[in-house]
Amino acid sequence: MKKVLIVFGTRPEAIKMAPLVKEFEKYPESFDTRVCVTAQHREMLDQVLTFFDVQPQYDLDLMKPGQDLYGLTAAIITELKPVLEDFKPDFVFVHGDTTTTMASSIAGFYSGAKVCHIEAGLRTHNKYAPFPEEINRQITGRVTDFHFSPTEASQENLLRENIDPKSIIVTGNTVIDALLQSVEKVKREPSDLVSDLDKGLNGASLILVTGHRRENHGDGFIRICEALKTIALHRPELEIIYPVHLNPKVLEPVNRILGDINNIQLINPLAYHDFIWMMDRAKIIITDSGGVQEEAPSLGKPVLVMRETTERPEAVDAGTVILVGTDTDKIIRETFALLDDEEHFKEMSSRHNPYGDGKACGRIVRFMRELGEN
């Protein structure tokens, strides 16, 4: 029996790893599967664990007010040591590009376990964009034994870095597994919040906004907010809903610039199931999120990405997203183009999602079951 430890700490990681946990749990005769959460995000993480009915065996509960990258990185490595010594996993699974991912991969390497990286091979080749995620994923890639890449393009990135081709498995992205499993459940069982929001919209077209990335803090967020303000004032028939990240560097400019505009709703961060409903209800999504770039095309939603570079160029190439950066004029121009040009909107919203078919977790677990049997 193979001993598998799945480690994650943020809400995006939890969303993408929860269906993998469930897939491993289908085979108790093959795997002793345990989950460790660092709780790099606490409340938002717990919402996802509840929604997917995932119960961690280890909870490091590391989130602290004002925590910086130095302290978090050190705490993850230090606090994982007794977990690794207790369970002695054969494989440590990590996801993506968070500080939890990078630090856990190093701890797993120190323990002698084989490191398995879900969503491996994403690159911008600019170590400062996104910060610190680009370096997190590159460091993780250096200690990884098995790279589960979502696309052929991410596989090519790894091959260019001289990664052994036999260690790379192209699977699609597990976020599509999570999305397709969740969207119907959300429609069947809407929350009270969703019901109230839907009534308040009264049939109006909705633009959903998310934004929180460090590289946009400061002037970037000011430009983003000015763009949203212009869009709202020129199109009073629209509703813009912005679940605002709790970071003060996001809260301050967003509330100051957008707080008194009638058709902009600034709300608290949404639970995963409510956010899925909101994406499905939206006409256009404006975001700096990596996960949304992957999810929204499966729902037929055009995405404007408020970043200068993206580690997900497949979406740009496929035409499902447009990079607008934090350029106020470009955000406004591309939004109005989608609202006013019906053919442009239809073409973008009907493009094929390059990130998978919802069967990524099955491919990963099948590979692990066959490992060592051939």
Query: Per-residue pLDDT tens for 90-101?
Result: 999 999 999 999
Residue 255, both tokens: 């509330």
At residue 166 the predicted structure's pLDDT band, cuts being 50, 70 and 90, is very high
What confidence score (pLDDT) does residue 239 get? 96
Catalytic (active site) residue 217? no
What is the band of 217 on the pLDDT scale with cuts at 50, 70, 90? Answer: confident
CATH of 2-172+359-370, one of 3.30.1110.20, 3.40.50.2000, 3.40.50.720, 2.40.50.140: 3.40.50.2000
Q: What is the number of alpha carbons within 13 Å of residue 32 lying toward its C-beta?
A: 8
CATH 3.40.50.2000 is right for the domain spanning 184-349: yes
Contact between residue 315 and residue 294 where contact means Cβ atoms under 8 Å apart: yes
Catalytic pick from 119, 177, 288, 314? 119
Q: Which of 13, 23, 97, 311 is catalytic?
A: 97
Q: Please, what sign has the CA dihedral across residues 21, 23, 25, 31?
A: negative
Q: What does the block give as tokens for 238?
A: 């629209």
Mean pLDDT of 258-281: 92
Active site residue 245: yes
Identity of the amino acid at 196: D
Indicate if 119 belongs to the active site: yes
Q: In terms of pLDDT, which residue wins out, 220 or 90? A: 90
* 184-349 and 2-172+359-370 share a CATH fold: yes
To the query of whether residue 214 is one of the catalytic residues in this protein, the response is yes
In the predicted structure, residue 322 carries a pLDDT above the cut 60: yes
* pLDDT score for 373: 64
Provide CB contacts within 8 A for 203, sequence distance 6+. none
Please determine, for residue 264, whether its predicted confidence score (pLDDT) is greater than 60: yes
Average pLDDT of the chain is: 93
pLDDT one-digit tens code per residue, 22-72: 999 999 999 999 999 999 878 888 989 999 999 999 999 998 888 899 999
- The region of weakest confidence among 132-141, 143-152, 192-201, 293-302 is 192-201
Q: How does DSSP classify residue 310?
A: -
75 pLDDT higher than 60: yes
pTM of the model: 0.82
The answer to whether residue 374 scores a pLDDT higher than 70 is no
Helix (H) or strand (E) holding 158: helix 152-160
The one catalytic residue in 95, 117, 212, 307 is 212
Q: Reduced to 3 states, what is the DSSP secondary structure of residue 58?
A: strand
Domain map of the chain by residue range?
A: 2-172+359-370, 184-349
Q: Are 137 and 253 in contact (CB under 8 A)?
A: no
Looking at residue 60, its pLDDT comes to 97
